[in-house]
Amino acid sequence: MGKGVSGGGNMNCGEFQESLAYIIDTGGNAKQKEHLKECSVCSDLVSDLRYIADQAKLLVPMLEPSSRVWDGIKTSLEQEGVVKNRTARGRLLGILPASRWGPGTRGSGIWMLPIAALVLVAVGLLAYRSTLSSRQTASAELSSSNSALNFTNVDSDAMSDNQDQQLLAAIAARAPEMRQSYEQDLRNVNAYISDERKSVDTDPDDEDARQALNEAYREKAMLYEIAVQHSQP
């Protein structure tokens, strides 16, 4: 067992630990290595410090800033007049609340939000499709129809209905006993989206309504994601 105060060689723990800051990543010289081999206190210390460093590397960014950050960015850029707006085509969707870039666009982004759910679904479906090997499944039918999404001149409600029918057809093919509950859930989620859209239309400044609308779309996207997983053979 290592001795705490006087370790191996001519180095003691105090001397070793004074130099530790500079050698922990390189290992140190022969004397320092010798002390580390023979002193359990210092080797435990080094082990702990390396463990802390390793665990720190695994810290992934888990937290999201609140929506006020994005609101602040938009406002600043609008005030600076540096924003150049595109048409509604190709908007990034579903991840951020409806934004109002520039003058004359008040509320114009909101009707694109239905595509948000579908894009979320499409991303999920594409990710799922990449894990499929050679299976031909009902979810691939969904994927192929979703990959035909384009963001120009879409009748979002009609497309949404169409996608819902395809989803139900896929579920009926793979898990017929689940079709009814999916149909009910879709109906409920669509009603949720519809009601909150009306709230947002009535008062576009109602932050709670916008968040609730986003929540509704997230529920629909979750439903699609889980349905796709369920359509595995």
Q: Alpha-carbon distance 39 to 33, whole Å?
A: 10
Contact between 232 and 173 under an 8 Å Cβ cutoff? The reply is no
Q: Alpha-carbon distance 183 to 85, whole Å?
A: 38
C-alpha triplet 162, 166, 171: angle, nearest 5° = 150
Residue number, 52 or 158, with CB nearest to other proteins: 52
Q: Alpha-carbon distance 119 to 159, whole Å?
A: 12
- Written as six digits, the tokens of 160 are 């949404």
Residue number, 141 or 207, with CB nearest to other proteins: 207
CB of 189 to other proteins, least distance (A): 5
Residue number, 114 or 124, with CB nearest to other proteins: 124
Residue number, 140 or 212, with CB nearest to other proteins: 212
Residue number, 30 or 133, with CB nearest to other proteins: 133
With b for 16 or more beta-carbon neighbours within 10 A and e for fewer, the 8-18 pattern comes to bbebbbeebee
CB of 91 to other proteins, least distance (A): 5
CB of 157 to other proteins, least distance (A): 18
CB of 84 to other proteins, least distance (A): 4
CB of 96 to other proteins, least distance (A): 6
Q: Alpha-carbon distance 212 to 231, whole Å?
A: 29
Contact between 28 and 19 under an 8 Å Cβ cutoff? The reply is yes
